[in-house]
Structure 1
Amino acid sequence: MVSDFRKKKLLLVFQVFFDTDKSGTIEKSDFEKSAEGLAKARGWAPGSPALEVAKEHLTNIWNGLQKAADIDGDGKITQEEWLSLWDKYAQTSTPQEWQDVFCKSLFHVQDSGGDGAIDAEEYSTVQQSFGIDKAQAVEAFKKMAQGKDVITWAEYQTLFKEYFTSDDPNALGNCILGQSSF
């Protein structure tokens, strides 16, 4: 059973990062719109290699998400299906392939310098493309980084898992998507 706290976090991801057209469900078209937003935030030209990689990752995430969560096979992921999916993840702590791709993709998009680490500027730029206030994103980054200038890939993986599985309101992973508190 998903706690009220985790439900709030999971629905934030659903509403802000996945349901980009605000229809109340996640569909393939939401991923296409996400690619457009990322391209704009990163300055990627149509057809650029970076954009094509991002589109490929988003397609893989959608395909895996639909297979794992679209219980009724209607091509849409409801909030209930979404919550059920992440509840199963928290119980097993074993990510499905699409969840690994999702984590890697989030990191890759934020690591614009390609150096294997994310700094506050890289992080806040991507968060802004999803409508998160820059100052709020920078505050969230500082909290997660705990005084360091960057977050490494290994640290990011831990923060990602913590966001989706932890019921602790003080967990650093709660900040991974731009919120400094809930």
Structure 2
Amino acid sequence: MNHGTQDLYPTFLKVQLMLSPGEITVITIIANIGGAVCGYISQYLGRKRTIILAAVMVGAFLPLFVLPRNKISLGGAYGIVPAHLNELSPPNCRGTFPGFTYQLGVLIASCSAQIEAVLGEKFPHNGVPDYGLTQAVLTACAIFSLIVMISIGTEAKDVDFEKQLENEDYGPENRDNMTACN
């Protein structure tokens, strides 16, 4: 969802909306503030609810990728997936699991800007590549997948990492196992 809406976003703003570099910077900064806001909200609503709420909000605002022709109507917010992954990680993998899974997602999504660019050029709007439409369609697919996966998964918000380690058998004879993900 993140790559689908952000990788080609500055190009969308420049090519389709013809905004200046300064305007593009301001819009991008404002949109990224949503991550901090969602992180704060997730402390009260929980990780799953916040991720689903953020995904639904992004879905509700997807038409703004297709319809806007001015800078006033743009904005966005994203979920708290990295914290959720860290809380779900097994104690002996906590240093590796969240980073690995997050980067695996980045690897899978790394081609999204190229896919959006090619599709946008194949389906132009008024003679200009329609990057907004392709971002909206691909992001809608990502939102649906994210909501389904988060809904069926578990939540471990407020897990006490230290207590979790104490409950595991990491005595002197098992210290080597702490660094291995098994």
TM-score by length of structure 1 reads 0.29
TM-score with structure 2 length normalisation? 0.29
Q: Which has the larger radius of gyration?
A: 2
Larger relative helix fraction: 2
